[in-house]
Structure 1
Amino acid sequence: MTVVDLGFARLMRELRQGQGLSFRRLAKIVHYSHTYLWDIETGIKQPTPHVAEALDRGLNANGRLTRLIAVEAQALGTVDSSSLAAANSDSALRSADVQAADRAPRMSATRSPDGSASQWAQAASLLYDIFVRNRPPLTRLCVERYSRRLRRETGASPFHMEATMQGRTPHAECYAISRQPAPSDIAGLLSLAPGEQVICRENRYYADGEPIQLGHTYIPLKIAKSSALFHKTNLGPGGLFERLEDLGYRVARIREQVTTRFPTRQEALALKTPPYVPVILVLHTATDDNGSPFEVTRFIMRSDLMTVQYEMPLGD
């Protein structure tokens, strides 16, 4: 159980205002969303020890904020004091991030012979409380994000559009473009022959400076050819779908399949996922007016920082 002194919010406000920092500027420094920081300062939400440490560093508070938070040992049950100390230390948390993907699939909330929950399960529960429950999610707006009208009006890509609509500061980067044989599932979705060549664009997405999503976009080589899709990491206003439309491929229909699993080691490192936090997989396929698929993207999202929202008309 985390106990927060009533003076925490007041001291945080004094420090932030004294340094002339807006919530958005502070969010970039401590790598938490500005909406979450506003909730803490106004008392709507309580800070975790990890957040307090980040604010101490960001506001040069010399530990004053951290000292206003206490974690009661009984919240850990049979987990000993060394486990608690490790959970509250930066080095241990960073190490846990790196090892999350290797451990998560094998660890389970099994019970020991005496009937008590295992120490690992209880430690996982503590880490989940610290990292997950108090973090505001970014919602994937699966209808609005593909609006052609909004894309033309704003010049923004779908991710930038939905993040901005929710008061978040978006950033996306394409860090690799390659030509490769289509993976078997991607080939099937794109109606390609086995081994047929595609262009793969690998992207990372951030909200308020925090990595929340990965995306691997596959486009048939016969479509991308020598276009910007193959040669440019920055696709300009409107992003991917605007460049596809320039080539004559206008999105008429989107199909998305949603599943979950634990992240791979590489995904956990890229997304900085805490231990035991799964990822949401969205396998997205775009088709034209004739029903022909021309683009597939595999999105990998942190389940603690993102939600998926669908809206659809009902048939008879």
Structure 2
Amino acid sequence: MTTHESAQQPASRRIAEALRSAIESGELRAGDKLPSERALAEQYGAARNTAREAVRLLAEQGLVTARHGRGVFVRESRRLFRFGSDRYSLKNRTTGLTPFRLEAKRQGKVARIEVPSIVREKPPVDVAERLIVPASEESVVHRENHYFADDEPVQIVSTYLRWDEAQGTLLMEKKSGPNGIYGRLEELGHAMTSIRDEITARMPTPHEASVLQLPPGVPVLEVLHTSLDQNETPFEVSRYVHRADLTGLKYELLVQ
């Protein structure tokens, strides 16, 4: 950015850019407390409301977070990685841990999962297409799970299963037994042999922002996952909604 362009910027943006540069250079490190609005106003020769707007811009960019009664702090750049390439591998199944619990354990985090609802319903159109069920009927069971790492919400997972298979089984229960839902689906004859992940980035819905406690301006990563069995039949579709500021996706695939 040229000096002329910088001069044309609103004062709040110039202050925000200066603070952003200090964060990116390491001058301000994760956990450091930002100067007060009064101190920032004095430092940059601006009004306090201008300094307040600069801090708001940094919060929207996910660089700082406000702690009530304590001040504003530089956010720690932490990532809980989803290991897409071996997430569902047989070697990991032998651990007895679900994919999320195993990923969290590998990264030194404590996993917690809440299951707020399990309901029969009409599937979203994109889910119906992938699961090959009618969208006009209550053809699926929808399990909504909320996932936490070290008590911080990191993802929402909406899993859709065929109603005619799930009814009357542990798939309708919050605790689905050893190896989670994939263990039960395997008992129903679905051995996972391949997966399809479709990944997009977007802004959250109000529900997602509330559940994930998202700071303003932080997007989500959506992974629409389809499991296919030994007959190449899709038997489960899950929509993973991850906090983009706390989650990364890692895929290591062989090139044929």
TM-score by length of 1: 0.64
**Bigger share in strand:** 2
Task: Tell me what 1:130 maps to.
Answer: 64
Task: Tell me what 2:40 maps to.
Answer: 73
Q: In structure 2, how many angstroms separate the alpha carbons of the residues matched to 1:138 and 1:75?
A: 39
Judging changes above 3 Å, is the alpha-carbon distance between structure 1 residues 126 and 275 closer, same or farther for their aligned structure 2 residues?
closer
In the TM superposition, what is the alpha-carbon distance from 1:248 to its structure 2 partner? 1.6
Matched, 1:284 2:216: no
SS of residue matched to 1:136:
coil
Amino acid at match of 2:212: L
Q: Give yes or no for contact 1:206–1:213 (8 Å, CA) kept in 2.
A: yes
Q: In structure 2, how many angstroms separate the alpha carbons of the residues matched to 1:147 and 1:292?
A: 18
| Among 116, 128, 143, the residue aligned to 1:175 | 116
Judging changes above 3 Å, is the alpha-carbon distance between structure 1 residues 70 and 156 closer, same or farther for their aligned structure 2 residues?
same
Judging changes above 3 Å, is the alpha-carbon distance between structure 1 residues 298 and 79 closer, same or farther for their aligned structure 2 residues?
farther
Task: Tell me what 1:262 maps to.
Answer: 203
| Among 133, 142, 148, the residue aligned to 1:200 | 142
SS of residue matched to 1:149:
helix
Task: Tell me what 2:154 maps to.
Answer: 212
Unpaired runs of 5+ residues, structure 1, are 3-43, 50-68, 86-118
Judging changes above 3 Å, is the alpha-carbon distance between structure 1 residues 124 and 135 closer, same or farther for their aligned structure 2 residues?
same
Judging changes above 3 Å, is the alpha-carbon distance between structure 1 residues 312 and 224 closer, same or farther for their aligned structure 2 residues?
same
Task: Tell me what 1:298 maps to.
Answer: 239
Unpaired runs of 5+ residues, structure 2, are 1-18, 21-27, 66-73
Judging changes above 3 Å, is the alpha-carbon distance between structure 1 residues 313 and 164 closer, same or farther for their aligned structure 2 residues?
same
Superposed CA deviations along residues 215-236 of structure 1, whole A, max 9, x for unmatched, are 0000011221211112x11123
1:86-101 map, 5 Å: none
In the TM superposition, what is the alpha-carbon distance from 1:304 to its structure 2 partner? 0.3
Q: In structure 1, how many angstroms separate the alpha carbons of the residues matched to 2:82 and 2:45?
A: 39
Superposed CA deviations along residues 94-132 of structure 1, whole A, max 9, x for unmatched, are xxxxxxxxxxxxxxxxxxxxxxxxx5x762224522148
Task: Tell me what 2:31 maps to.
Answer: 47
SS of residue matched to 1:219:
strand
In the TM superposition, what is the alpha-carbon distance from 1:191 to its structure 2 partner? 1.3
| Among 103, 108, 111, the residue aligned to 1:162 | 103
TM-score by length of 2: 0.78
Q: In structure 2, how many angstroms separate the alpha carbons of the residues matched to 1:235 and 1:265?
A: 29
- % identical aligned pairs: 35
Q: In structure 2, how many angstroms separate the alpha carbons of the residues matched to 1:273 and 1:157?
A: 25
Q: Give yes or no for contact 1:142–1:310 (8 Å, CA) kept in 2.
A: yes
In the TM superposition, what is the alpha-carbon distance from 1:76 to its structure 2 partner? 9.9
Task: Tell me what 1:225 maps to.
Answer: 167
Superposed CA deviations along residues 43-90 of structure 1, whole A, max 9, x for unmatched, are x954143xxxxxxxxxxxxxxxxxxx63551699798424656xxxxx
Q: In structure 2, how many angstroms separate the alpha carbons of the residues matched to 1:211 and 1:242?
A: 25
Q: Give yes or no for contact 1:257–1:283 (8 Å, CA) kept in 2.
A: yes
In the TM superposition, what is the alpha-carbon distance from 1:292 to its structure 2 partner? 0.5
What is the Cα-based RMSD across aligned positions, in Å? 2.7
| Among 226, 229, 250, the residue aligned to 1:309 | 250
In the TM superposition, what is the alpha-carbon distance from 1:204 to its structure 2 partner? 0.2
Q: Give yes or no for contact 2:41–2:48 (8 Å, CA) kept in 1.
A: no
SS of residue matched to 1:160:
helix
Judging changes above 3 Å, is the alpha-carbon distance between structure 1 residues 75 and 178 closer, same or farther for their aligned structure 2 residues?
farther
Matched residues, number: 220
Q: In structure 2, how many angstroms separate the alpha carbons of the residues matched to 1:206 and 1:304?
A: 14
In the TM superposition, what is the alpha-carbon distance from 1:260 to its structure 2 partner? 0.8
Q: In structure 2, how many angstroms separate the alpha carbons of the residues matched to 1:274 and 1:48?
A: 18
Matched, 1:143 2:85: yes
Amino acid at match of 1:219: L
Q: In structure 2, how many angstroms separate the alpha carbons of the residues matched to 1:187 and 1:173?
A: 25
**Bigger share in helix:** 1
- Once the two structures are overlaid, the 10-residue window that deviates more, 242-251 or 282-291, is 242-251
Q: In structure 2, how many angstroms separate the alpha carbons of the residues matched to 1:223 and 1:78?
A: 67
